[in-house]
Structures are given as C-alpha cells and as structure tokens.
C-alpha cells in the first residue's frame, strides 16, 4: 500500500507499507511515540521545576496533560478532543493530533488540535476545538492563533478555506457542553 503524509514544510513523504493500514496506524500512535516522553530542551538550559511532570501511561512516560485516550488509542488533552477523535474514527477519517503546522516562511508553527490530509480533495484541513472561550486568557490566545492562521493562508471553511489549508472551528457551548451530533454532521459534510 502507498500512503502520503505531509511533513514539516508541507513536502510529501511517500510511505510504502505492506499489510493492513491499522498496523501502520498503531506504529504511528502516541503509545509508540518517543517524543512525548522527552522533557528536554536542546537549545537552552531549563529549570527542572518548570518542566511538565511526566506520567506513566500504558508503560510509557507521557506529558502529564495528555490524560485522555480515544478509542483508537490517541492520547489527548480534553474530553472534547476524545469525542472528536472518536467521531473521526467512526467516519474512517485519519487525523493526526497536534502535528506542527509551519508558517509560510517556516520560522514559526502552531499545533492545531487535528490535521487531516484529505488527498481525495487535494486539501489539508486543520481542526481546532475551542472549549474554554469564556476564559479571557484562553480567548486571547485563541484570537492570536486565529490571526496567525489568517496571515499564513489558512482560512475557516465558512470562508471557503485558504490557499494552504482549511480551518474547521468547533466550540463548546456556554455551559461547556459539546454536541456530538453536530460534530458527526460536520464530518459528514466535509468528507461525505
């Protein structure tokens, strides 16, 4: 089987794999990832008191904030992200979690919640779920991230998407709830 993935600067990487896609997905899962278990900065000395406390998940050390797990085994930060990841799986959509998306000049990046390389439509979809917009600091960080996306040719799906990627934004309601039916309907509309 032939699979294509986007790398750091949106260059294509071709992966030749013999066997089931599920086997390849297992190898790419957070359980098998080495990076989340690393708590070092190679470029400057860090105060050990400021590093995230690692926790052991299924025998592997992980960032303490990746405390939730979806049905396909992805370690996630929020219950809303688990719901979204499970919805992707139910619809057969392969989505990467917190994959760096680099600026046009390659000097900065953001970590969208989910990245989908939709080869059938020739597009990249970045999916962001905003769960705490009532919190002023969270809302300010989100507005800054949204400006960065716009500056880097990533526009919301409602605006037709951008040249580099299409941004899907979902929100918790004012009480902090998430509507699973809306998530599934959104996925069906995008990937139907």
pLDDT tens-digit series, residues 20-73: 766 666 666 655 555 554 444 445 544 444 444 444 444 444 455 666 788 888
Assess whether pLDDT exceeds 90 at residue 84: yes
Is the pLDDT at 168 greater than 80? The verdict is: yes
Domains present along the chain, CATH in parentheses: 37-66 (no CATH), 70-191 (3.40.960)
The predicted structure's pLDDT at residue 50: 44
Percent of the chain with pLDDT over 90: 44
Of 55, 15, 61, 67, nearest to 35 by C-alpha is: 61
pLDDT mean across residues, the chain = 79
Residue-wise pLDDT tens digits, 118-134: 888 889 999 999 988 77
| CB atoms closer than 10 angstroms to residue 22 | 8
- Buried-state track 163-191, b at ≥16 Cβ within 10 A, e below 16: ebbbbbbbebeeeeebeeeebbebbeebe
pLDDT of residue 127: 96
Q: What's the order of all strands across the beta sheet hosting 154-156?
A: 96-97, 114-118, 123-130, 165-171, 154-156
Q: 3-class SS at 136? A: helix
List pLDDT tens digits, range 88-112. 999 999 999 989 999 999 999 999 9
Q: Report percent pLDDT > 70 for the chain.
A: 67
């Amino acid at each position: 089987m032939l699979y294509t993935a986007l790398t750091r600067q949106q260059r294509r990487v071709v992966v030749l794999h013999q066997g089931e896609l599920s086997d390849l997905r297992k190898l790419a899962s957070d359980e098998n990832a080495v990076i989340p278990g690393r708590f070092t900065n190679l470029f400057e000395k860090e105060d050990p008191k400021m590093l995230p406390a690692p926790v052991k998940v299924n025998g592997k050390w992980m960032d303490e904030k990746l405390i939730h797990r979806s049905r396909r085994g992805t370690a996630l930060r929020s219950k809303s992200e688990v719901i979204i990841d499970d919805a992707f799986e139910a619809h057969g959509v392969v989505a990467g979690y917190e994959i760096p998306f680099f600026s046009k000049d390659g000097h900065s990046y953001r970590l969208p919640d989910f990245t989908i390389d939709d080869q059938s439509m020739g597009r990249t979809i970045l999916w962001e779920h905003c769960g705490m917009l009532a919190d002023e600091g969270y809302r300010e960080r989100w507005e800054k991230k949204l400006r960065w996306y716009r500056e880097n040719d990533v526009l919301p799906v409602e605006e037709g998407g951008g040249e580099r990627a299409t941004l899907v934004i979902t929100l918790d309601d004012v009480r902090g709830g998430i509507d699973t039916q809306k998530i599934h309907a959104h996925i069906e509309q995008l990937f139907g």
